[in-house]
Amino acid sequence: MPAGLPQTYRAFAYNNAWANHRLLQSCAALTQEEWEATRTSFFPSLQATLNHIYVVDLFYIDALEGGWLGPAAWENELPYAALTDLTKAQRAMDQRLIAVCAALDVDALNAIVRVNRGKRAQTERRDRLLMHLFQHQIHHRGQAHAMLSGTSVKPPQLDEFFSVAEAPLRADEFTALGWTEETVWGT
């Protein structure tokens, strides 16, 4: 795929999935008690924070796919008590977001998405809705990163964006995710 705005969104989706993978892999070293432990942040635990990311992804990705799930996404604010279950669900959700972004062209980025807000339909340009979703993820992963800092597990580096020079450093993670540099960049 040639470089350009649609490719940028595709790369954001892959980077988002990679950051989620890194964070959830680090959390896998926690006990269930540490995973659930009350911590200082917007949400009271790593478990609650990372489930919130999943639920909000479900809400917006459904809308980006043309669905009408809406507020039903919040019927269970903690859908995955166990980290292993959340990890599997988040990975599937990340693949859905990658698929949404892989299908983008300039017209699709400018198209209007309808979001079910219960008693009203919110309309938003797809590019803006995607930026909102990526920012939401970054914001709450940062909170989870800070909470993880209060445990015996070293938080992963999350402030990278696929530097060419660092491709060898992420090769094992890409292999675990089933990706190559070509998968992400379409070259």
Amino acid 187: pLDDT: 64
The per-residue pLDDT for 133 is 98
Give strand pairing partners of 124: 113
Looking up tokens 């917007």 gives 42
Length of the chain, please?
Answer: 187
Residues whose CB falls within 8 Å of the CB of residue 127, separated by 6 or more in sequence, listed in order: 5, 9, 109, 110
Go through the domains of the chain in sequence order and give each one's CATH number.
5-31+38-176 (1.20.120.450)
- pLDDT for the residue 83: 98
What is the structure's pLDDT at 186? 83
What is the full per-residue pLDDT of the chain (187 aa) written as tens digits?
A: 457 899 999 999 999 999 999 999 999 999 999 999 999 889 999 999 999 999 999 999 999 999 999 999 999 999 999 999 999 999 999 999 999 999 999 999 999 999 999 999 999 999 999 999 999 999 999 999 999 999 999 999 999 889 999 999 999 999 999 999 999 998 6
Is this structure's pTM higher than 0.75? yes
In this predicted structure, what is the pLDDT of residue 90? 98
Distance CA 10, CA 101 (A): 5
Closest CA to 35 of 47, 44, 25: 47
How far is residue 53's CA from residue 9's CA, in Å, rounded to a whole number?
19
pLDDT at 165: 94
Contact 171, 184 (CB under 8 A): no
For the beta carbon of residue 50, count every other beta carbon within 10 angstroms.
Answer: 26
For position 23, what pLDDT does the model report? Answer: 98
Q: What is the pLDDT of residue 148?
A: 96
Spatial separation of the C-alpha atoms in residues 55 and 186, rounded to whole Å: 29
At residue 27, the pLDDT reads 98
Number of other CB atoms surrounding residue 169 within 10 Å = 11
φ, ψ (nearest 5 deg) of residue 114: -95, 130
* Element housing 132 (H / E): helix 126-149
Give the separation between CA 101 and CA 83, rounded to whole angstroms: 26
- pLDDT for res 5: 92
How many helices (H) and strands (E) the chain has is answered by 8, 2
> What pLDDT score was predicted for residue 1?
43
